[in-house]
Amino acid sequence: MTDPYLFVWNDFAVEELRQPYRGIKWHRHPDEPVYHYQDPRCAVMIEETTRRRLPIVLEESFHHTCNFIEHLAPKAVIIIPHLGGLNGGYRALDQAGVWKRDNIYADTALASTSEMRHFIDQYGADKLLFGSDYPFGDPGGELRKVERLGLSSSDFEKVVAGNILNLLRAGGAPV
């Protein structure tokens, strides 16, 4: 798997999707400029990404995350990194009903094992993806956290590989 993710910024360069991308990275920290969500090109980018079933790794403020999921891209496949740690927090997203949506996935990068356990107990192993956020997280250490959950071999395989491979296959690209 060598095809990259496309980082989307305010140019909303939908023509870039001619390249064999595996997904979209929609990522902003609070001290960075905001996305121009009202720009018509934003809607075109979201529409085309959704049509292609490319997963969007969405890291945004809580308000923008909820607006993105509920109004801008309600049918898009969305992966929220860190179990929401930088999207307003796991519990805030849980209370907002974000994790209940069929098209929303989470990754384990830098998340606590208690959040991972709660997520699996509430929403199942099919929606959780292994992540390490290297170089900020150590892949081995992050994997050991997933191992400590004591998942069945089937659920462990889903979390560490199967779920993301299924999402990438759904996007139409060979894996």
pLDDT value at residue 3? 67
Band of residue 169 on the pLDDT scale cut at 50, 70, 90 = confident
In the chain, the amino acid numbered 165 is L
Per-residue pLDDT at 1 exceeds 60: no
This prediction has a pTM of 0.94
User: Per the structure, how many domains does the chain have?
Assistant: 1
Per-residue pLDDT at 170 exceeds 80: no
pLDDT value at residue 2? 57
CB 79 within 8 A of CB 55: yes
pLDDT digits (tens, 9 = 90+) for 32-87: 999 999 999 999 999 999 999 999 999 999 999 999 999 999 999 999 999 999 99
Band of residue 29 on the pLDDT scale cut at 50, 70, 90 = confident
pLDDT value at residue 122? 97
Q: If you count DSSP H runs as helices and E runs as strands, how many of each does the chain have, helices first? A: 7, 6
pLDDT value at residue 30? 85
| Domain annotation covers residue 138 | yes
pLDDT digits (tens, 9 = 90+) for 108-162: 999 999 999 999 999 999 999 999 998 899 999 999 999 999 999 999 999 999 9
pLDDT value at residue 56? 97
| Domain annotation covers residue 175 | no
CATH number of residue 42's parent domain:
3.20.20.140
| Domain annotation covers residue 155 | yes
Q: Taking CA 165 as the corner, what is the angle to CA 10 and CA 128, rounded to the nearest 5 degrees?
A: 80
- Higher-confidence residue: 169 or 165? 165
Give the integer Cα–Cα distance in Å for 67 and 72: 7
| Domain annotation covers residue 144 | yes
| Domain annotation covers residue 122 | yes
| Domain annotation covers residue 108 | yes
Please choose, from the candidates 57, 65, 68, 153, the residue with its C-alpha nearest in 3D space to the C-alpha of residue 109: 57
Domain coverage including residue 43: 5-170
